[in-house]
């Protein structure tokens, strides 16, 4: 009976803690592994890319902040620079099918194509598992994982949290800067920043 009460207690705790899934991915610690299908149905695991830098980008085409960085070509340029340096770029869409922003995989793939995105793959995370494991809160929300599988950056695309395209030019792009520093074996000047954008539509 005692043990039953204990587990009941723990069960309640896990029910009243909707944010239990946060607090998992931490900069300086091993990045949580995941497996998810991309827009073409091909499965990708983080473990597949051990030995390479991996950038995760949370994306939702219905979000004006995502469109700010795509319409300005800022996101694509960041993707291209990362991929050209040998990194793997995985865009992740954690939008729930219950949300009005949800796009089926083929439409999502077409949207990325239409944007001429340079992401290595676009992963569909409709159940939000990958997003929860990383504590992704906003679109965009970006993460960098080093070749050893350690999370080294979590946060915003850049230093100017706004919806204005004009701000991009004067902002520091944390992903470009972080990758450059990491690839030069330097510690990141900004390893945790506050991501800004729309809520991820879990």
Partner 1 sequence: MLLLAAAAQAASTVETPNVRATLLAYAPEGVAAGQPVWLGLQLRHRPHWHTYWKNPGDSGLPTTFEWTLPDGVTAGGIEWPAPRPLPFGPLVNYGYEGTVLLPVPLDLSDAARGRDLRVRLRADWLVCRETCIPESGDFEIVLPAGRVLAANRAAFETARAARPAVLSDVRAAAQVRGDTLEVEVAGLPVRLHGATLRLLPETEGLIDHARPVPQSWQAGRWQGRVPLSSQRSASPERLAMVLLAGADSFRVDAPVAGWRAAMDAAVPAEPAPAALAGFAAALALALAGGVLLNLMPCVFPILSLKVLDFARHADARRTRVLGGLAYTVGVLLSFLALAGALIALRAGGEQLGWGFQLQEPAFVAALALLFTLIGLNLAGVFEVRGLLPGSVAGWRLHHPAADAFLTGVLAVVVASPCTAPFMGAALGFAFTLPAAQTLLIFAALGLGLALPYLLASLVPAVARLLPKPGPWMARLRTLLAFPMFATVVWLLWVLGVQVGVAGVVGLLGVLLAVAFAVWAWALPGRSRIGLGVPALALAAAAGVWAAPALRPAGDVPPAVEAGWMPWTPEREASLRASGQPVFVDFTAAWCITCQVNKRTTLTDPAVLADFERAGVALLRADWTARDPAITAALAQLGRSGVPVYVLYPGGARAPLVLNELLSPGAIRTALDPLKRKETL
| Residue 32 DSSP class | P
Count of residues that bind partner 1 according to CB under 8 A: 60
Cβ-contact 144, 153 below 8 angstroms? yes
Within 8 A by CB and 6+ apart from 162, the residues are 196
* Residues 100-139 interacting with partner 1 (rule: CB under 8 A): 100-101, 132-133, 135, 137-138
Q: Which of 198, 200, 37, 34 is nearest to 104 (CA)?
A: 37
- Contact segment (CB under 8 A) with partner 1 among 45-53, 79-87, 108-116, 117-125 equals 45-53
Question: Which range binds partner 1 by CB under 8 A, 1-9, 74-82, 106-114, 176-184?
Answer: 1-9
C-beta of 109 vs 135, nearer to partner 1 = 135
Member of 16, 42, 169, 170 binding partner 1 (CB under 8 A): 16
Nearer to partner 1, 76 or 192 (CB): 192
In order of 27, 135, 157, 179, the CA distances from 142 in angstroms are 12, 11, 6, 12
List the one residue from 19, 42, 169, 184 that touches partner 1 (CB under 8 A): 19
Is 186 one of the binding residues for partner 1 (CB under 8 A)? no
Q: Which is nearer to partner 1, 95 or 122 (CB)?
A: 95
Helices (H), the chain: 2-16, 64-71, 74-84, 105-114, 129-134, 167-170, 174-183
Task: Identify which range of 20-28, 74-82, 112-120, 177-185 contacts partner 1 by CB under 8 A.
Answer: 20-28
């Amino acid at each position: 009976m005692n043990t039953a009460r204990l587990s009941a207690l723990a069960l309640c705790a896990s029910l009243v803690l909707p944010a239990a899934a946060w607090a998992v991915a931490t900069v300086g610690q091993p990045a949580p592994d995941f497996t998810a299908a991309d827009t073409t149905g091909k499965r990708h695991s983080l473990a597949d890319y051990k030995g390479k830098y991996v950038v995760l980008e949370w994306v939702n085409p219905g979000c004006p902040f995502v469109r700010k960085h795509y319409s300005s070509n800022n996101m694509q340029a960041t993707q291209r620079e990362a991929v050209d340096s040998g990194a793997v770029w995985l865009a992740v869409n954690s939008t729930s099918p219950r949300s009005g922003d949800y796009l089926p995989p083929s439409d999502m793939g077409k949207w990325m194509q239409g944007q001429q995105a340079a992401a290595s793959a676009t992963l569909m995370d409709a159940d939000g598992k990958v997003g929860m494991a990383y504590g992704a809160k906003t679109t965009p929300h970006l993460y960098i994982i080093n070749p050893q599988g350690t999370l080294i950056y979590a946060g915003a695309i850049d230093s100017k949290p706004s919806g204005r395209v004009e701000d991009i030019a004067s902002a520091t792009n944390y992903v470009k800067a972080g990758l450059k520093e990491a690839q030069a074996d330097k510690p990141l000047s900004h390893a945790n920043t506050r991501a800004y954008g729309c809520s991820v539509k879990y």
